[in-house]
Each structure stands twice: as C-alpha cells, then as structure tokens.
Amino acid sequence: MKQHIENLIHYELNQGVITERDMNYLRNQLYYLLDEVLDDNYPKPNEITYPSDALNPILNLLIKKNKINDTVLERDLFDAKIMNVFSMLPSTYEKTFYDLYNKDNDKAMNFIYNYAKATNYIRMDRIDKNESFKYHSSYGDLEITINLSKPEKDPKSIMLASKTKSTSYPKCVLCKENEGFSGNFNRDSRDQHRLISFKLKENTYFFQYSPYIYYDEHSIILSEEHKPMIINYQTFLNLLLLTDKFKGYFFGSNADLPIVGGSILSHDHYQGGRYKFPIEDAKTIKKWTFEDITLEIIKWPLSTLRIKGSNKEELAKKANDILTIWKNYNNKDLNIVSHTNETPHNTITPIVRFKNGLYEIDLVLRNNLTTDQYPLGIFHPHEDKWHIKKENIGLIEAIGLAILPGRLQNELKLMEDYLINNKHHPDLTKHLPWLETLKNKDFKNDVNSFLKNEIGKVFEKVLRDCGVFKEKDEKEFIKFTVEEINEKLFK
C-alpha cells in the first residue's frame, strides 16, 4: 500500500497539482483515509503514467481488507475520495485560472485541462482505450469512435443502486451543486470536480470539462439556473460570446427537442472544445452575400446552412430569424411537418466558431416527427442501422464524430471470424442481415480495416437518415433557402 501511496503523491507533484510544501500534509491525510500506519520508512516512489496506476492497486488492497466491495461503482466512488485530498478548494482553483487567464488564455485553459486529467476527474486511462478511425465519405472524412471509456454498471452495482434512496439533490448531473458531490450508487462521484464561473451578459454560467471526453478539451458550459434547454436568439449570442471568452474553442448546442436533442434537455447547457470537426471542412453548394453576412448551403448529410459575419448581434439575429422560419416550415412531400396540434417538430442544432477573422454559425436543420412506420423518428437512424447505432444523433455526431457503443469492439472480432470462417456467435444475431451483404466482398487480406470501413458507411447512412432534405432533394433545399430565407430576410 505504501509504495502506491508514494507513487501517487509524487505523480501529483510532478504534474504540478501539489508542491513540496504540501507533502507532509497530504501524506498524513492519505494514510489516515486508507487506514495505513504511517512512519518514517516510506518507500522511494516509482514513475507512473496515470493516477489509476496507483489507485487500482490501492483499491485492490482495500477490497482484500473488506473496506470496499469489488464493484466498478464502489471503486470509482472511493478513488474520487482519494483524489479529492489533492484537489484545490473551488475558490483557489478559480483564482488560479483567472490569474493565468488575465495574462494568457491558452495557459489558463491548459492549466485546468491538465489539472482535470491529473486529478483523475478525466479518466485518461480509460479514454485512451477508445478505438478511433476515419471513414472517407463523399462529404469528407467522418470520424468514428468506439467508446470504451465509460464503464457499464455490473450486476452488483445495479442491485446497490436499486436499494439506494433517490434524492432530488443535485437536480441533475449538470447542476452547479455537483461540485464536490460525493456521489452514490445512482450518481457518479464529483469529489474532485471543479467549475469556473463567468458572466455572459448579465447571466452566470460555469465552465467544466466532460469527465468522459469524446474529443480534445471536450467542455461543457452550464447555466447557473436549472432550467430547460431552448434554442433562441440568446442561445446564438451566447455561443458567439463564448468564442470570445475561450479563444480557439468552438461551441455548440444540442437541439431543444426530444429525439433530435441531447440526453439532458432539463438543464440549459452548451458543449465546446479545441477541436476541428469534419463539418468544418464541408464544401459549399450554394453561396449568397448580403452586405456583412454570407449565407451558404454546405454539402453535408444533415441539411445545414452556414452564416458568416463580423457582427455578433446581427449574426445572432439572422440565425434566430432563420430558426423562426424553419420552425414553421412544412413540406409534406418530404415528410417535413412543423407541428402536430400544438407540438413543435422543427428546430436547429447550432455550432459556432471564430475563423479567419469572422464568426461562423452552422445551422443544422432538425425535425423529430414520429410515425407508425418510424416510431423513433422519421429523421432518426432507421431500423436497418440500429445494430450499429440506435441512439439519438446529437450535436457531436451531427457534426461528424460517431460515438459508437463499446460492445462493438468485441463484436468486431466476432464479425471477422464470421466473414473468414463462417463462425456464428449469438452476439452477432443483430448484425447478420448486414454481414450477409458483406460476405462476397473483397477483404484484401485485412478484414478488420474492411469492417471498419463498412461501419463508417453505416454511420454516413445514419447521418443521411437524419437529414431533412435528402441529396435528391437538393433543389427543394435551395428553393427553401431562396424563397423562405433570402427573400424574407435579406431584401
């Protein structure tokens, strides 16, 4: 135990989370927390790559001593307690950030990103196991990730969760009250979670990194108030203001309706990061320029308009005007229905960046209408693709990064065996109709690369399913843009 404690202490020292001045205090705290006898004979530390290189053996020893149960959930809850010993108070963390930010934006962002990784809030040991590859589509390179970083709950954890009394505190996983929250069998721990508070106009928001980052510096901006997500003028303006506040970052929002929105619609929030998504390189199909604003239709599987300009307020106003027009647009021949009774179906997924001296807003048109034939949505992945992707297509996937379930890693191996040796496994049942179409294709002696390419094809088709104007409807998309937007907003 002592060896691993010392390894962890020196790891945090090397990462700049603590200083030499903190060593005695931290050693005392950790040995007490872990019920280990402390004396002057502690071992020389060894280098480790991740905090988990020390945490996992510590947790294994605690399980042997019957201090905690051997479940993923209990391990995660307890290792967060260990890492919280190293963590700054929120006020110190925020002050350190702003002291750096006032001198150098990049140094400030690097500090909090590296801090989140060093304190194991971002569990890089798991994230680095994610499998990623690209698919060369007709829209440009799409990115595919098989997500292994977020562990599934084991049966013991599920049983413990069922016995845990649920509470309404915090109201959701995005609320500011999660900062330092100990977690339970229903909620992940947030012991070492820290927030940066700031103002957007008169409203308070908080910046944090996602604990299971899907891309570089994957961040979340959450409102101080627990209130539902909504896409409106203020949303567009906030996203534009954020690109000023956190330079070099893009920002976007999930849509504000079920099916086409994100997994959490109850709390107003945005996502961002220092990352270039495939949609950014999408080619222009049609372009119009009106004084300071450029409007483009881009070549993308989800119907997308791009507006550019130098005036944030004017750009946000135009984006909101386009949203208003789209909210009331109907085209029954294309199954685009704006309302059924009083229920709205049309909305937008916006993405904002500052590029080449101009602000850009990508406006991805969305519709969540369901029918008996498509109970999960007409513009949702259709059933023949559910074996690869059934979940909602939110912001991240709409702009070109597939987050596919971890089960696919093992299933890929089984697929290879099926195609090469015709060996069937029960886990392949859902894939069989698709695999049968691949049997007679040329694998070129690399069945793994072949299958990944075919998965990329499925993802491209998933995105096409979600497009309200299909490729064959390009003339209708141009007509909508000219007659409904150009003639109403720019003349």
> DSSP per residue over 298-337, as a string?
E--SS-EEEEEES-HHHHHHHHHHHHHHHHT--BGGGTB-
Give pLDDT, residue 183. Answer: 87
Cα angle, residue 279 at apex, residues 223 and 369 outer, rounded to 5°: 65
Which stretch of DSSP H or E encloses residue 388?
none
The CA dihedral of 90, 94, 95, 100, to the nearest 10 degrees, is: 150
Give pLDDT, residue 404. Answer: 94
Tens-digit pLDDT profile for the chain (491 aa)? 999 999 999 999 999 999 999 999 999 999 999 999 888 888 999 999 999 999 999 999 999 999 999 998 899 999 999 999 999 999 999 999 999 999 999 999 999 999 999 999 999 999 999 999 999 999 999 999 999 876 554 455 545 554 556 568 899 999 999 999 988 878 888 999 999 999 998 999 999 999 989 999 999 999 999 999 999 999 999 999 999 999 999 999 999 999 998 778 999 999 999 999 999 999 999 999 988 999 999 999 999 999 999 999 999 999 999 999 999 999 999 999 999 999 999 999 999 999 999 999 999 999 999 999 999 999 999 999 999 999 889 999 999 999 999 999 999 999 999 999 999 999 999 999 999 999 888 887 899 999 999 999 999 999 999 999 999 999 999 999 999 999 988 86
Give pLDDT, residue 282. Answer: 97
**Measuring CA to CA, which residue among 285, 307, 309, 281 is closest to residue 298?**
285
Question: 125 to each of 150, 276, 297, how far by Cα in Å?
Answer: 11, 23, 41
Q: Are 349 and 265 in contact (CB under 8 A)?
A: no
Q: Are 1 and 34 in contact (CB under 8 A)?
A: yes
Q: Are 400 and 279 in contact (CB under 8 A)?
A: yes
DSSP 473: G
Give pLDDT, residue 269. Answer: 96
CA distance 218 to 191: 20
Give pLDDT, residue 262. Answer: 78
> So where are the chain's domains?
2-112
Give pLDDT, residue 442. Answer: 85
Q: Is the peptide bond before 170 cis (omega within 30 degrees of 0)?
A: yes
Question: 36 to each of 2, 13, 82, how far by Cα in Å?
Answer: 8, 21, 13
CA distance 435 to 416: 10
DSSP 364: E
CB atoms within 10 A of CB 6: 18
CA distance 368 to 370: 6
Give pLDDT, residue 419. Answer: 94
Give pLDDT, residue 45. Answer: 95
Give pLDDT, residue 490. Answer: 81
Sign of CA dihedral 167, 173, 179, 184: positive
**Measuring CA to CA, which residue among 361, 356, 348 is closest to residue 238?**
361
DSSP 169: S
* Nearby residues of 294 by Cβ (< 8 Å), 6 or more positions away: 287, 288, 307, 308, 309
CA distance 307 to 358: 10
Give pLDDT, residue 168. Answer: 80
Q: Are 173 and 188 in contact (CB under 8 A)?
A: yes
- Spatial strand order of the sheet with 140-147 comes to 131-137, 140-147, 401-405
Give pLDDT, residue 166. Answer: 59
Based on its alpha-carbon atoms, the radius of gyration of the chain, rounded to whole angstroms, reads 25
> DSSP per residue over 82-139, as a string?
HHHTTPPPHHHHHHHHHHHHTT-HHHHHHHHHHHHHHTTSS-HHHHTT-EEEEEEEBT
CA distance 474 to 286: 10
Instruction: Categorise residue 270: left if φ over 0, alpha if ψ from -120 to 50, beta otherwise.
Output: beta
Q: Are 211 and 121 in contact (CB under 8 A)?
A: yes
CA distance 175 to 205: 11
